[in-house]
Amino acid sequence: MTQLICQKCSAVYGADDPRWRCSCGHVLDLHFEPAFPLDKIKQRKPSMWRYREAIPIDADAGIVSFDEGFTPLIEVNIAGKAVLVKQEQLFSTGSFKDRGASVLISQVKALGIREVAADSSGNAGSAIAAYCAAAGISCHIFVPAYTSPGKLAQIQLYGATLNKIPGTREDTAHAVLAAAETIYYASHYWNPFFFHGTKTFAYETCEQLGWKAPDTVILAAGNGSLLLGSYIGFNELLQAGIIEKIPRLIGIQPENCAPLVKGFKENSIEIPGIQKKETIAEGIAVATPIRGKQILDAVKQTGGDMMAVSESEIKQSLKEMCRKGHYIEPTSAAVIAGVNRYILNHRQQKSTANEVIVSVFTGHGLKAGGKMPDILNK
Ligand SMILES: Cc1ncc(COP(=O)(O)O)c(C=O)c1O
Ligand SMILES: [Zn+2]
C-alpha cells in the first residue's frame, strides 16, 4: 500500500489524500514496495514505464505518458576519460523533468484533480505543462521573469497560464505558495510522486550497465529532483538484491549559488544562508532548497561529495560539449564542468582509472536559445 509519510512528525496519509505537504507544514515522502520482475521488464518497450511494478500509480488507465525514457547512455570523453552520459536532453519537452511529470500528473489525474499550479526555473514548468496538456488538466506555471524566452513560449504553447515573477527564484517559490492555497500544487520538489518518476534514471542506468551499479554518479543539485530520485532508485534496486552497492553521488552547483556545497563542507545541520549571485546555470540557481538536508544526507550516505563550479568553467564545458556535437543548455553544462573538475582532482588516484562514472545531459541547448548567442560571443 502506498502511503505519504511526513519527514518531521511521521504523520501518515493515504496516497489517495490530495495533499502535497503535511498538515504540520513539512515535506512528505512516499512509502511504497516496488517490485522488479526482470524477465517481464526486458520484454517491454524501452520507456521508463517498463518498470511498471516499481512506479506507485495504481491503475494503468490513467497513466499520462509519451513513452518517455530509456534515454541512451553514451560515452563522452571528458578530461581524457570516457564518461557514460545519459542523454536526458532528448525527452519530449527537452529535459529530464518529463520523468517526474509523467508520474506526478498521472497521480494528479488519478486523484481527479482538474487544475494545478507549479513553480519552476523553466524546465519543470514546461514538463508539467506538457503532461497537463496531454491529460486535459488546466495548469498555472510560475517562473522567474529572467527565465529563457524559449522556455516561456514553450510553457504557454502547451496551453498553461504563465505567471512571470520579478526577482529571484525564491520570489517565484513564494508566489506559487499563495496560489497553492486554493489550487493543487504539482510541485517537482515538494510532491514526492515526482521523485518516483526521476528515480527511473537509476533503474535505466543499472539496466544499461547489465544490472550493475556504476561507481560514481555526478548530477546537478538545485532542488535535487534528479539527485534524490536517483538515490531512491539505487536504494530500491539494492533492497531488491539487484545491485550490490549504491554509487557515490556527487552533486554539482554553480559557485554563484551553492548553499548545498557550503552546508556539506561546513557539515551544518541546517542549510546555511548564502549571498546568491547571478549564474548562467538558471536551472540550479536555488538558494533555499526545501529538501536541502535530505539531499546532503543522501550524498553523505553514499560517501559522495558536493562540488561548486565557476561561471567560466560552465561556459568552457558548454563550448567543449557543443564542439563534440552535444547541444546542451548552460545548466546542463554546469554538471559537465563538475565532471571535468572531479576527474582532474582525482587523476592522481589510481582507483579512478577503472572507475565507472555516469553523468547526464539534463537539458537541451535549444531551450536556452535566447541566451546562447551571448555565450557564443563571449
Ligand atoms: C537543465 C536542468 N538541469 C538540472 C536541473 C536541476 O534539477 P533540480 O533542481 O531538481 O536539482 C534543472 C532544474 O530545473 C534543469 O532545468
Ligand atoms: Zn508533519
What tens digit of pLDDT does each residue of 58-84 get?
999 999 999 999 999 999 999 999 999
Let me know whether 357 and 220 are in one domain: yes
SS (H, E, C) 291-359: CHHHHHHHHHHCCCEEEEECHHHHHHHHHHHHHCCCCECHHHHHHHHHHHHHHHHHCCCHHHHHCCEEE
Please report whether residue 144 resides in a domain.
yes
Nearest ligand for residue 24 CA: 2
Let me know whether 257 and 355 are in one domain: yes
Residue 350: the pLDDT is 61
Ranked by mean pLDDT, which of 143-147, 336-340, 342-346 comes out on top?
Answer: 336-340
Which amino acid, one-letter code, is at 163? N
Q: What is the mean pLDDT of residues 104-124?
A: 96
In sequence order, the 6+-apart residues with CB closer than 8 A to the CB of 349 are none
Residue 256 domain boundaries? 73-92+195-376
Let me know whether 158 and 173 are in one domain: yes
Residue with CA closest to ligand 1 atom 16: 283
Give the domain-ending residue among 158, 192, 226. 192
Sign of CA dihedral 44, 50, 52, 53: positive
Confidence of residue 163 (pLDDT cuts 50, 70, 90): very high
| Total number of domains constituting the chain | 3
Nearest ligand for residue 144 CA: 1
Let me know whether 297 and 342 are in one domain: yes
Query: Distance (Å, rounded) from C-alpha 266 to C-alpha 258?
Result: 12
Residue with CA closest to ligand 1 atom 14: 283
Let me know whether 186 and 213 are in one domain: no
Are 310 and 301 in contact, with CB atoms under 8 Å apart?
A: no
Are 265 and 306 in contact, with CB atoms under 8 Å apart?
A: yes
In sequence order, the 6+-apart residues with CB closer than 8 A to the CB of 10 are none
Let me know whether 245 and 188 are in one domain: no
Please report whether residue 61 resides in a domain.
no
Give the domain-ending residue among 140, 170, 192. 192
Helix axes 311-323, 330-346, angle to 10 degrees: 100
Please report whether residue 286 resides in a domain.
yes
Q: Would you say residue 317 has pLDDT above 70?
A: yes
Distance from the CA of 40 to the center of ligand 1, in angstroms?
A: 32
Q: What is the mean pLDDT of residues 275-285?
A: 93
pLDDT tens for residues 6-63?
A: 999 999 999 999 999 999 999 999 999 999 999 999 999 999 999 999 999 999 999 9
Please report whether residue 51 resides in a domain.
no
Residue 213: the pLDDT is 98
Alpha-carbon radius of gyration of the chain: 19
Residue with CA closest to ligand 1 atom 1: 363
Residue 246: the pLDDT is 98
In sequence order, the 6+-apart residues with CB closer than 8 A to the CB of 259 are 253, 271, 272, 273, 274, 286, 287, 288, 289, 292
Let me know whether 165 and 248 are in one domain: no
Percentage of the chain modeled with pLDDT above 90: 91
The cell for 197 is 518518476
102: domain CATH number? 3.40.50.1100
Residue 269: the pLDDT is 86
Are 337 and 309 in contact, with CB atoms under 8 Å apart?
A: yes
Distance from the CA of 283 to the center of ligand 1, in angstroms?
A: 5
Nearest ligand for residue 294 CA: 1
Residue 351: the pLDDT is 63
Please report whether residue 283 resides in a domain.
yes
Q: Which atom of ligand 1 is nearest to the CA of 286?
A: 9
Confidence of residue 309 (pLDDT cuts 50, 70, 90): very high
Are 205 and 53 in contact, with CB atoms under 8 Å apart?
A: no
Distance from the CA of 28 to the center of ligand 2, in angstroms?
A: 8
Q: Would you say residue 352 has pLDDT above 80?
A: no
Q: Which atom of ligand 1 is nearest to the CA of 329?
A: 1
Closest to 317 measured CA to CA, from 95, 75, 77: 77
Let me know whether 87 and 126 are in one domain: no
Distance from the CA of 57 to the center of ligand 1, in angstroms?
A: 24
Q: Which atom of ligand 1 is nearest to the CA of 120?
A: 14
Let me know whether 258 and 275 are in one domain: yes
Report the pocket of ligand 1 as residue ranges, CB < 6 Å: 95, 121, 123-124, 220-227, 283-284, 286, 329, 331-332, 362-363
Q: Would you say residue 375 has pLDDT above 90?
A: no
Let me know whether 300 and 279 are in one domain: yes
Q: Would you say residue 268 has pLDDT above 70?
A: yes
Q: Would you say residue 182 has pLDDT above 80?
A: yes
Let me know whether 148 and 181 are in one domain: yes
- Residue 184 pairs in a beta bridge with 116
Distance from the CA of 27 to the center of ligand 2, in angstroms?
A: 7
Q: Would you say residue 245 has pLDDT above 90?
A: yes
Let me know whether 353 and 220 are in one domain: yes
Residue 152: the pLDDT is 93
Q: Which of 226, 284, 332 to mutate to test the pocket of ligand 1 (most atoms within 8 A of CB)?
A: 284
